[in-house]
Amino acid sequence: MTTEQYKNRADLIAALADLMEDYARAIDRDELELWPGFFEEQCTYKVTSRDNVAAGYPIGLIYADSRAMLQDRVKSLREANIYEDQCYRHILGRPHVVSREADTVRTETSFLVMRIMQDGSTSIFASGSYHDVLRITPERISFIERIVVNDSSRVDTLMALPL
């Protein structure tokens, strides 16, 4: 029931890297309904910026504290149909294990997200670092907390898709 199942650091990082990629893949493939399932029922999801974090501001652009709120967000996105106009492509760095205690692990992972509009134009949408707290059980790894720390404070506050 602990992280002991990952005999060594490399095995743990491989499992974490798979999870990060699966999360990004769900969004990039427009399988948004899968997104809330990566989180615990009681969870934190925040999108903020490097400057906000440095200044100690507690709440970012987008905030949810339960899986139900994430499900609501997906529902709104589907109703607004904004998702049809664009898609994302995440490219991720290798997870860095910040700390590890019993069944909980803190990680940071660099990301780069490209946005591709319906007309085919591609641009850098966001870069930054995921600051995560993860629960590891024999069955799966899930997000207790994901704080998306954007490098830029100019990331579109009307953004349609989760990061």
Give residues in contact with its own copies (CB under 8 A).
9-11, 13-15, 17-18, 20-22, 24-25, 28, 50, 87, 89-94, 96, 108, 110, 112, 114, 116, 119-124, 126-129, 151-155
- The nearer residue to its own copies, 43 or 126, going by C-beta atoms, is 126
Least distance between its own copies and beta carbon 68 (Å): 28
- The nearer residue to its own copies, 91 or 102, going by C-beta atoms, is 91
Least distance between its own copies and beta carbon 42 (Å): 28
Least distance between its own copies and beta carbon 29 (Å): 8
Least distance between its own copies and beta carbon 48 (Å): 14
3-state secondary structure the chain: CCHHHCCCHHHHHHHHHHHHHHHHHHHHCCCHHHHHHHEEEEEEEEEEEHHHHHHCCCCCCEEEEEHHHHHHHHHHHHHHCHHHHEEEEEEECCCEEEEEECCEEEEEEEEEEEEEECCCCEEEEEEEEEEEEEEECCCCEEEEEEEEEECCCCCCCCCCCCC
